[in-house]
């Protein structure tokens, strides 16, 4: 089935509750392998970062795995690395390496109206006559498509975290469940179907259908009672998407994913369904989650 934004808009509740679940790093232990084996090597290759490859890897892991930007859209992260993190890295400075800058692409990333996906890149390329601008976007598109290829070739056979399947089975009795992700839809559909858990969700929403904030808004906005909408995620962006829609948030803590899912299955799910999740229960979970993800790169703290 091909999921579209119209399916999100026209979605009608079948259950009393609504739950959105992120995929990479949340339902599946795929964040690490995707970033280290797919995103990072091709970022170094396509953008000519070989002289500072170690620094590039440190920046990529900090931005995508171990900081408050964990789980962000690939284009927001690429821009952050090229424009801020890598230029300020000690290795980059000591080697006097000039990090490639893509001003037209950066401006596009910062524009809230931009569709930050391969299709969005193709639209820009098709609609611009400026050769410099076109080359920037073609370079990024080639990188993004190569990453997608690498993910398809490398990321296989990785099952959901323990207690994910059990949670979905239990949750489907009470809630409409959808996948809410910044990953391309094709990869999401493949992963969820490969492990036979797509049957538990109503919609698989990837980057082509908009942001996570938009996914939740379109699918649940005005359709469920207060405190009946929950987002499960492993990144601050997931929490922000939930709170922008006045939804509740259950964090899957990085490094403690199995414990987090066990807690959800054995306790938090029932607390949510009973109407007692909002307030102190949610606040304590979020406080612990936020302590795990810093906003300052560790190399900036070196003396």
pLDDT in tens, 97-125: 999 999 999 999 999 999 999 999 999 99
Per-residue model confidence (pLDDT) at position 1: 78
Domain boundary (137, 154, 171) is at 154
176 φψ region: left (φ > 0), alpha (ψ -120 to 50), beta (else): beta
Q: Report the number of distinct structural domains present in the chain.
A: 2
- CA 293 to centroid of chain Cα atoms: 15
Does 51 lie in the same domain as 67? yes
Is residue 248 classed as helix, strand or coil in its secondary structure?
strand
Does 284 lie in the same domain as 168? yes
Q: Please state, in angstroms and rounded to a whole number, the distance separating the CA atoms of residues 170 and 18.
A: 13
Q: How many CB atoms lie within 10 A of CB 48?
A: 12
Confidence of residue 41 (pLDDT cuts 50, 70, 90): very high
Counting every residue written for the chain, the total comes to 303
Does 120 lie in the same domain as 47? yes
pLDDT average, residue stretch 81-102? 97
Is residue 175 classed as helix, strand or coil in its secondary structure?
strand
Does 169 lie in the same domain as 25? yes
Query: Could you read off the pLDDT of 166-195 as tens digits, one per residue?
Result: 999 999 999 999 999 988 899 899 999 999
In the 8-state DSSP scheme, what is residue 160? B
pLDDT average, residue stretch 200-225? 96
Q: How many CB atoms lie within 10 A of CB 78?
A: 23
Domain boundary (100, 120, 154) is at 154
> Is the pLDDT at 220 greater than 90, yes or no?
yes
Give the residue numbers spanning the domain of 198. Answer: 5-30+161-291
Query: Could you read off the pLDDT of 258-273 as tens digits, one per residue?
Result: 999 999 999 999 999 9
Asked whether residue 296 is domain-assigned, the answer is no
Per-residue model confidence (pLDDT) at position 72: 86
The CATH number linked to 178 is 3.40.50.1000
> Is the pLDDT at 255 greater than 80, yes or no?
yes
pLDDT top residue among 71 and 191 = 191
- Per cent of the chain over pLDDT 90 is 92
Give the β-pairing of 17-21 and 248-251. Answer: unpaired
Asked whether residue 254 is domain-assigned, the answer is yes
Domain boundary (109, 128, 154) is at 154
Query: Could you read off the pLDDT of 264-299 as tens digits, one per residue?
Result: 999 999 999 999 999 999 999 999 999 999 989 988
Per-residue model confidence (pLDDT) at position 86: 98
268, 273, 277, 282: CA torsion to nearest 10: 40
- Please state, rounded to an integer, the average pLDDT across all residues of the chain: 95
Asked whether residue 302 is domain-assigned, the answer is no
**Locate tokens 């999401």: which residue?**
188
Is residue 24 classed as helix, strand or coil in its secondary structure?
strand
pLDDT average, residue stretch 40-63? 98
Contact 188, 181 (CB under 8 A): yes
pLDDT average, residue stretch 64-72? 91
Confidence of residue 302 (pLDDT cuts 50, 70, 90): low
pLDDT average, residue stretch 123-128? 96
């Amino acid at each position: 089935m091909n999921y579209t934004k119209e399916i999100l808009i026209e979605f009608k509740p079948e259950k009393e509750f609504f739950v959105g679940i992120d995929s990479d790093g949340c339902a599946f232990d795929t964040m690490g392998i995707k970033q280290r084996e797919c995103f990072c090597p091709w970022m170094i290759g396509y953008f000519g970062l070989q002289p500072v490859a170690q620094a590039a890897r440190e920046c990529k892991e900090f931005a995508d795995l171990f900081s408050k930007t964990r789980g962000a859209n690939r284009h927001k992260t690429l821009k952050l690395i090229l424009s801020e993190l890598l230029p300020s890295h000690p290795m980059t400075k000591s080697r006097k390496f000039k990090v490639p800058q893509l001003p037209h692409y950066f401006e596009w990333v910062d524009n809230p109206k931009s569709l930050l996906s391969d299709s969005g890149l193709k639209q820009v390329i098709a609609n611009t006559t400026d050769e410099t601008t076109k080359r920037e976007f073609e370079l990024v598109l080639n990188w993004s498509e190569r990453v997608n290829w690498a993910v398809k070739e490398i990321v296989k056979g990785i099952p959901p975290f323990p207690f994910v399947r059990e949670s979905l089975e239990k949750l489907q009795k009470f809630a409409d469940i959808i996948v809410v992700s910044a990953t391309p839809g094709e990869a999401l559909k493949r992963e969820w179907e490969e492990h036979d858990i797509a049957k538990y969700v109503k919609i698989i929403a990837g980057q082509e259908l908009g942001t996570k904030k938009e996914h939740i808004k379109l699918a649940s906005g005005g359709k469920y009672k207060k405190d009946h909408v929950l987002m499960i995620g492993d990144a601050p962006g997931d929490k922000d998407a939930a709170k922008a829609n006045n939804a509740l948030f259950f964090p899957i803590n990085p490094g403690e994913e199995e414990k987090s899912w066990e807690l959800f299955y054995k306790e938090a799910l029932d607390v949510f369904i009973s109407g007692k999740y909002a307030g102190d229960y949610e606040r304590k979970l979020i406080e612990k989650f936020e302590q795990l993800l810093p906003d300052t790169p560790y190399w900036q703290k070196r003396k």
